[in-house]
Amino acid sequence: MDKSIFAVVGGDARQAALANMLAGDGITVYCAGFEQSPHLLTGTASTDPLTAVLMADTVILPMPPTRDGKTLNTPLSTYRIELDEEFCTALRGKVVFVGIAGKLREISPNYAKLNIFDYYANESFLVRNAQATAEGALAEIITNYPQTVCGSSILITGCGRITRFLAPMLRNLGGKVAVAARKSKDWAWIQAQGMDSFSFNKAMRRAKDFDIIINTVPAPIINEKFVDGVSDNAVLIDLASLPGGIDFEACERRGIKAWRALGLPGKYSPTTAAEIIKETVMLILEEE
């Protein structure tokens, strides 16, 4: 598959960086939805969304493509790009890349029929994205927690890709890290790296022991009862995709510092995040 004209439409700083990077590789790139990008889009042709799509044979949409189910996710633009039938028609016959394809397919039966590839369903993408997320989480923790990670007691709930990067990072800084997980095989992985691991129930019983609590599970794990048990000086950070897993109201009621940290790769490592999408897209194009 030899696709030489790309459109990058919508998304945050990493999509803007992606457009630049493709242009830097000598690819013709049409852009739309980046009016407020702090970075110049050099070597790309900025235009309106429909034109961008129509000019290209490969279209790259953001992750997620929409937050409201109706318009494109365009945090760097004040214009609304409607995900209507006209836009869908423009996409027809193109190779459409998107993160979390289901959100696009749900819009209408015609959207579902498009030739969609989901870069967010690619395991290599997810691994590299998790590493970038863990680095961002590290910066968030160091910045928002008034002690050093070294010497602190840290709980991470959930044992997916992010945890597998973040737990050793925190341990290497000198933190005492415990991971709460559901499956005994996850306990084994963590314990075999010299960290503590146990059930969510045990985590709740031991809640007061932790200085830093990091949730990665998109389910109400750190619920009101859990929050009631944590130490006054603890900080809580929710890395799980919406709706997350921390009861923020309960935290506020107790005066406990808690915050949501989403889109960390785009925030802390936009260039790498763009590169990861680019390489995943190119790999998928090659394999087709």
Residue numbers of the site for its own copies (CB under 8 A)?
17, 123-125, 127-128, 130-132, 135-136, 138-139, 142-143, 145-151, 165, 168-169, 171-176, 184-185, 187-189, 191-195, 268-272, 275, 283
Residue (115 or 147) nearer to its own copies, CB: 147
Structural contact between residues 256 and 123, judged by C-beta atoms closer than 8 angstroms: no
Alpha-carbon gap, residue 134 to 138, rounded angstroms: 6
- Closest approach, Cβ 157 to its own copies, in A, equals 19
For 166, list phi and psi in degrees, rounded to 5. -70, -40
Alpha-carbon gap, residue 249 to 8, rounded angstroms: 38
- Closest approach, Cβ 189 to its own copies, in A, equals 5
- Closest approach, Cβ 34 to its own copies, in A, equals 16
Nearest residue to 60 via CA among 119, 107, 105: 119
Residue (168 or 220) nearer to its own copies, CB: 168
Residue (87 or 120) nearer to its own copies, CB: 120
- Closest approach, Cβ 269 to its own copies, in A, equals 5
Residue (59 or 138) nearer to its own copies, CB: 138
State the DSSP string of 111-143.
HHTS-EEEGGG-HHHHHHHHHHHHHHHHHHHHH
Residue (94 or 267) nearer to its own copies, CB: 267
- Closest approach, Cβ 43 to its own copies, in A, equals 15
Cβ atoms within 10 Å of 36's Cβ, excluding its own: 11
Q: Which residues of 81-108 are buried (b: 16+ CB within 10 A; e: fewer)?
A: bebeeebbebbeebbbbbbbbebbbebe
Structural contact between residues 34 and 46, judged by C-beta atoms closer than 8 angstroms: yes
Alpha-carbon gap, residue 175 to 214, rounded angstroms: 13
State the DSSP string of 50-105.
HHHHHH-SEEE--SSS-SSSSB---TT-SS--B--HHHHHHHTTSEEEESSTHHHH
Residue (112 or 189) nearer to its own copies, CB: 189
- Closest approach, Cβ 258 to its own copies, in A, equals 18
Residue (140 or 247) nearer to its own copies, CB: 140
- Closest approach, Cβ 254 to its own copies, in A, equals 17
If you count them, how many residues does the chain have? 288
C-alpha gyration radius of the chain: 21
Residue (135 or 247) nearer to its own copies, CB: 135
Which position has the token pair 């967010």? 120
- Closest approach, Cβ 139 to its own copies, in A, equals 4
